[in-house]
Copies of this chain bind each other. A is one copy, B any other.
Amino acid sequence: MGLALAIHGGAGTIVRSKMTPELEREYRGGLEAGLVAGWDVLTQGGSSLEAVEAAVVSLEDFPLFNAGRGSVFTHEGRQEMDAAIMDGRNLKAGAVAFVRNIRNPIKLARLVMERSEHVLLAGDGANQFADALDVPTEPDEYFFTEHRWLQLQDAIAAGRVQLDHAAVRPVGTVGAVAFDRNGYLAAATSTGGMTNKKFGRVGDTPLVGAGTYADGTCAVSCTGHGEYFMLGVTAYDVAARMNYRRLRLEDAAEETVARLTEIGGDGGLIAVDTDGNVALPFNCEGMYRGWFTEGGQPHIEIYS
């Protein structure tokens, strides 16, 4: 039973042939920074909750991932972000959906958990909650990246809602799961959603049990085509298979992803249990991911 941390930076159609060595180095650097940020917290005796928050803040700040800075654009040309955090120690959670101009949506999610009676706040109301607590904001320019803007123009031209799985910039949701010295688990997930999304669509990221879950058994963060993770109740399904079928983490996570495949969903998940095991299964060409377990080496991978 040792410390454990896993992170992801999205999954989907990561086409190896479209990846340049320079770009791959950049992505690996972004993942490594997130892994180090979370691992430092754990080794300095911090909680799993603090570790997943630190890792996700780092991934949100990195402009190539679709979360925080560098989020994709909605149909109206806005950047709306979703995030959730869950503390397995006491089964508490906080989440926000389509907030705007919040520098680190994952920090706002934690404030919802700690400073409100609610689990999920959405839209203008969530921004009002952030204002009331003086949560740091940034102007639109901070979140803007040219490649996301071009993605929106492409998607509008093609007339489709697009998951953030473009071949050239194969990026998506970010997330982290951790197990700490005191034996507690936590999970965090953050995303800019879908390019060209309309009508106030909410995906799986901010929903407890769908994209994010942690209890006394395991912690899970998902990435992929959100609607299928919602219908499959994917994050909680891993815990249910462990608790009710007495499966090991790795087997439970594999079965959950197999079910996701069965119902037509693309993507993957990262998970950790109270023995410090990690699992990172996915059913697509690649998933940006990293993990670190006590006594082991840090790992960064992109393809399967």
Contacts and interface: CB of A to CB of B under 8 A. Distances in A.
Interface of A: 91-93, 97-98, 116-126, 128-129, 161, 198-203, 207-210, 213, 227, 230-233, 236-237, 240-241, 243-245, 263
15 contacts: A97-B202, A98-B123, A116-B199, A119-B227, A121-B200, A121-B202, A125-B198, A129-B199, A208-B230, A208-B233, A209-B230, A233-B233, A240-B240, A240-B244, A244-B245
B123 A122 contact: yes
Given A118-B201, A119-B227, 17 more contacts: A91-B232, A93-B230, A97-B122, A116-B199, A122-B123, A125-B201, A126-B200, A129-B200, A207-B207, A208-B210, A208-B231, A208-B233, A213-B233, A240-B240, A241-B244, A244-B245, A245-B245
Nearest to A246: B244
A120 B125 CA distance: 17
Nearest to A91: B231
A73 to B, nearest CB: 15
A203 to B, nearest CB: 8
Contact of A236 (B91, B93, B123, B209): B209
A269 to B, nearest CB: 15
Assembly stoichiometry (copies): 2
Contacts of A207: 207, 209-210
Contacts of A202: 97, 120-122
A201 B117 CA distance: 10
A227 B117 contact: yes
Contacts of A233: 208-209, 213, 233, 236
A262 to B, nearest CB: 10
A157 B128 CA distance: 21
A91 B237 CA distance: 15
Contacts of A117: 161, 227
A97 B97 CA distance: 11
Nearest to A96: B200
Contacts of A244: 240-241, 243-245
A236 B200 CA distance: 24
A126 B237 CA distance: 28
A159 to B, nearest CB: 12
Nearest to A132: B199
A128 B240 CA distance: 37
A25 to B, nearest CB: 35
A200 B240 contact: no
A237 B202 CA distance: 22
A256 to B, nearest CB: 11
A246 to B, nearest CB: 9
